[in-house]
Amino acid sequence: MDSAAEPREYDLDALRQRVLLERGGERSSSIPQLAEADPDLCAIALALPDGTVHSSADGTVPFSIQSAVKPFLFALALADTDGAALDRVGIEPTGEAFDAIKLESDTGRPPNPMVNAGAILTCALVDGDSPDARSERILAGLSRFAGRPLEIDEDVARSEHLLGDRNHALAHLMRAEGTLTCSADDAVAVYARACAVLVDAEVLAVMGATLALGGVNPITGERVVSAEIARDTVAVMATCGVYDGSGRWMRAVGIPAKSSVSGAIVMSAPGALGAVVISPPLDEQGTSVRGRIAAEVLSADLGLHVFG
Ligand code: GLN
């Protein structure tokens, strides 16, 4: 493209129709609710600085946020610890899967907040003197990013808690290392509830926009986190957000992003907009196959590559 297209006028339904032709990928089998997700759910949404949200068909179909919650958990942990969360969790990419049973060898810290170990820990760093209190505080914080009250899918939360054996293993390992101080089961319960928050493409795009726009929600005008926290969070999305596919993503798409096993990818294009693509079939790195294709096209057409 010679010049970037205007986001407001961009034909998101045409892009959706185009990526729906792609049949590759497999749905996550980690919990029954994801294994049974509609494989042809496909939505694309953009949230702009003027507070408008533009979406394709399926833009308001609900899904569980899963790992797309991790940037927001990191931001909330940074806010509640006055930045000290940066001493408790690393910020280096792992080159490994999201649920790898691995901590930093010299410190016992999780490698970064975008993998499961890191997100289990950031959930535990949010203020609250009980798991319920932390969970409530996380839901309230996520709702401020969204600009409307969000809810938890309790069935998904139960499945995540019951079936998340690797998450329980990670929590126990972090306790053994002294990096997690609450009970392992409580930590996984809070993390499971955070992954089970219901969003849709439109509202998740607003959450991504809030990070992209320096921590201010473009719909409510509320400052949700400081500009420094928003910047730090987007920086870690850029380096670690697509797990062992982060380098490939950064080259081809060039927008800081977080992938998830629900097939949602939330993107924060600094200073420009928030965007979401969701479709459940995943590639080997747990990234939505259609989402990746749509993100590449969007980035090119709208001129969003940060090194573009
Ligand atoms: N809830 C999922 C898990 O903990 C989230 C993983 C993901 O979306 N990549 O395994």
Tell me the average pLDDT of the chain.
97
Cβ of 288 less than 6 Å from ligand 1: no
Q: What is the CA radius of gyration of the chain?
A: 18
Cβ of 28 less than 6 Å from ligand 1: no
| 16-63 pLDDT, tens digit each | 999 999 999 999 999 999 999 999 999 999 999 999 999 999 999 999
CA atoms within 13 A on the CB side of 19: 30
- Nearest ligand 1 atom to the CA of 67 is 8
- Nearest ligand 1 atom to the CA of 286 is 9
Q: Nearest 5°: phi and psi at 285?
A: -90, 5
Of 99, 167, 249, which is best to mutate to test ligand 1, by the most ligand atoms within 8 angstroms of its C-beta? 99
Give the model's pLDDT for residue 1. Answer: 46
Please tell me the distance between residue 74's alpha carbon and the centre of ligand 1 in angstroms.
Answer: 15
- Nearest ligand 1 atom to the CA of 192 is 1
Q: State mean pLDDT over 162-183.
A: 97
Q: Is the pLDDT of residue 153 over 50?
A: yes
- Nearest ligand 1 atom to the CA of 243 is 9
Please tell me the distance between residue 6's alpha carbon and the centre of ligand 1 in angstroms.
Answer: 34
CA distance 120 to 160: 12
| 228-285 pLDDT, tens digit each | 999 999 999 999 999 999 999 999 999 999 999 999 999 999 999 999 999 999 999 9
| 79-115 pLDDT, tens digit each | 999 999 999 999 999 999 999 999 999 999 999 999 9
Collect all residues with Cβ–Cβ distance below 8 Å to 226 and sequence separation of at least 6.
79, 215
Cβ of 67 less than 6 Å from ligand 1: yes
Give the model's pLDDT for residue 2. Answer: 55
Q: Is the pLDDT of residue 3 over 90?
A: no
CA atoms within 13 A on the CB side of 147: 24
